[in-house]
Copies of this chain bind each other. A is one copy, B any other.
């Protein structure tokens, strides 16, 4: 099993990739607000777990498994974020920050229940994927909702 901390690194790499940038020790460290040494350590661990492909001074790339995990983690963040912001009325920045922490404390079954609840309360679509409401369409829909 992957640790909470490693999951955050994974997610960060995914996000950087999504933005069509090369994930590098430096930009990961910036996003994670930690030292390059710390990133380096994590890369080794993630490599061992076959979640990324990487060798010293080389390219950092998520494996298929890593991508799946990163996505799932991001989706979980979104669910909690939406709940905090749209339902509880928490401020955007706080909600974003806190969602990560809260999600990490939640089991998958509970996240699923929350997903359904959020979906129902906010009237979003639902198809089957990671956390029930997390197909691309739905996520986009959430995002739009949240930007406003």
Instruction: Mark A residues whose CB is within 8 Å of B.
Output: 84, 87-90, 94, 98, 101-102, 104-107, 109-110, 113-114, 117
- Asked whether, in the complex, the Cβ of A101 is within 8 Å of the Cβ of B105, the reply is yes
> Would you list 24 pairs from A and B whose C-beta atoms are within 8 A, ordered by A residue?
A84-B110, A87-B117, A88-B110, A88-B113, A88-B114, A88-B117, A89-B113, A90-B109, A90-B110, A90-B113, A94-B107, A94-B109, A94-B110, A98-B105, A98-B106, A98-B107, A98-B110, A101-B105, A101-B106, A102-B102, A102-B105, A102-B106, A104-B105, A105-B105
Copies of this chain per assembly: 2
- How distant is A7 from chain B, measured CB to nearest CB, in Å? 14
CA distance A110 to B98 in the complex (A): 9
Q: Which residue of B lies closest to A100 (CB)?
A: B105
CA distance A10 to B90 in the complex (A): 29
Q: Which residue of B lies closest to A107 (CB)?
A: B98
Q: Which residue of B lies closest to A114 (CB)?
A: B88
Q: Which B residues are in CB contact (< 8 Å) with A101?
A: 105-106
With A90-B109, A90-B110 known, 11 other A-B pairs at CB within 8 A are A84-B110, A88-B113, A88-B114, A88-B117, A90-B113, A94-B107, A94-B109, A98-B105, A98-B107, A102-B102, A105-B105
